[in-house]
């Protein structure tokens, strides 16, 4: 999730991230970012501080509560030492002072994604399947399951809410940016590939379609 109110900066940042294969939800106010943190699963937050409806720092405690373990990188033109310290004190993982090179931003993103997470375990085990939702890695009996990025996003969203029905809309939001055009049957296509790959690997996991509502993941019975 990119929280940024400067349109030009956001557009450039977003396209750099998309080139790296990220799906980007761009929010330009605190209130939209708040809503998004409740309704969709994100892997990383890029947070500007000076936003039209307040100080981005105020979002950090909510992000920490709603998305434990999701790295937050503060992006701000305010480079003063006190701002850096208060951003990090409140739980940001890193801090980039504008202007910065996109290459540097991408390197910092890779670094926070690699960092072992002390706040919350990212590994979830169901059946013989072990998914690290922060690293975007799924293994069955120690062998990596080769998944496309969007298949991984669906799997993360389902496994984080295992045993519960996940609404179709939340899955679509996890797979596509809010502004991407969603093809009506593509979620089902991702799910069926995911099922086949997990089945072939002997994951011992089932994904049930709940007609008209969404999907539910659980250990095979």
CB of 170 to Ca ion, least distance (A): 28
DSSP state of 145: P
Instruction: Choose between 50 and 143: whose C-beta lies nearer to Ca ion.
Output: 50
User: Which of these ranges, 41-49, 88-96, 161-169, 177-185, lies near Ca ion under the rule CB under 5 A?
Assistant: 41-49
The answer to whether the beta carbons of residues 60 and 92 sit under 8 Å apart is yes
Residue with tokens 């929280």: 3
Q: Which part of the chain contacts Ca ion (CB under 5 A), choosing from 2-10, 111-119, 137-145, 195-203?
A: 2-10
In DSSP terms, which residues pair with 95 in a beta bridge?
A: 74
Alpha-helical (H) ranges within the chain are 7-19, 30-39, 60-66, 81-89, 102-114, 149-160, 168-175, 186-201
Does position 11 interact with Ca ion (CB under 5 A)? The reply is no
Are β-strands 214-219 and 165-167 bridged in parallel, bridged antiparallel, or unpaired? Answer: antiparallel
How many residues sit in the footprint of Ca ion (CB under 5 A)?
3
Residue 125 binds Ca ion, judged by CB under 5 A:
no
Check residue 50 for interaction with Ca ion (CB under 5 A).
yes
Report the residue number, 50 or 144, with the smaller CB distance to Ca ion: 50
Q: Does 48 bind Ca ion (CB under 5 A)?
A: yes
Find the part of the chain contacting Ca ion (CB under 5 A) among 40-48, 86-94, 145-153, 169-177.
40-48
C-alpha 14, offset from chain centre: 14
């Amino acid at each position: 999730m990119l929280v940024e109110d400067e349109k030009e900066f956001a557009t450039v940042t977003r396209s750099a991230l998309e080139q790296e294969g990220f799906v980007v939800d761009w929010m330009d106010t605190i209130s939209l970012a708040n809503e998004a943190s409740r309704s969709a699963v994100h892997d990383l937050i890029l947070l500007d501080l000076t936003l039209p409806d307040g100080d981005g720092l105020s979002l950090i405690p909510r992000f920490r509560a709603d998305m434990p373990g999701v790295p937050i990188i503060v992006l701000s033109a305010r480079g003063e030492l006190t701002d850096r310290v208060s951003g990090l004190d409140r739980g940001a993982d890193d801090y980039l002072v504008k202007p910065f090179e996109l290459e540097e931003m991408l390197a910092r993103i890779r670094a926070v994604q690699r960092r072992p997470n002390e706040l919350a375990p990212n590994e979830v085990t169901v059946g013989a399947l072990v998914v690290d939702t922060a690293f975007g890695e799924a293994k069955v009996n120690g062998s990596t399951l080769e998944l496309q990025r969007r298949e991984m996003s669906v799997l993360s969203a389902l496994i984080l809410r295992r045993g519960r029905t996940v609404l179709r809309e939340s899955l679509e939001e996890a797979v596509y940016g809010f502004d991407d055009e969603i093809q009506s049957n593509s979620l089902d296509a991702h799910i069926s590939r995911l099922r086949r790959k997990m089945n072939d690997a002997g994951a011992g996991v089932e994904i049930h379609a709940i007609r008209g509502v969404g999907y539910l993941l659980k250990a095979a019975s």
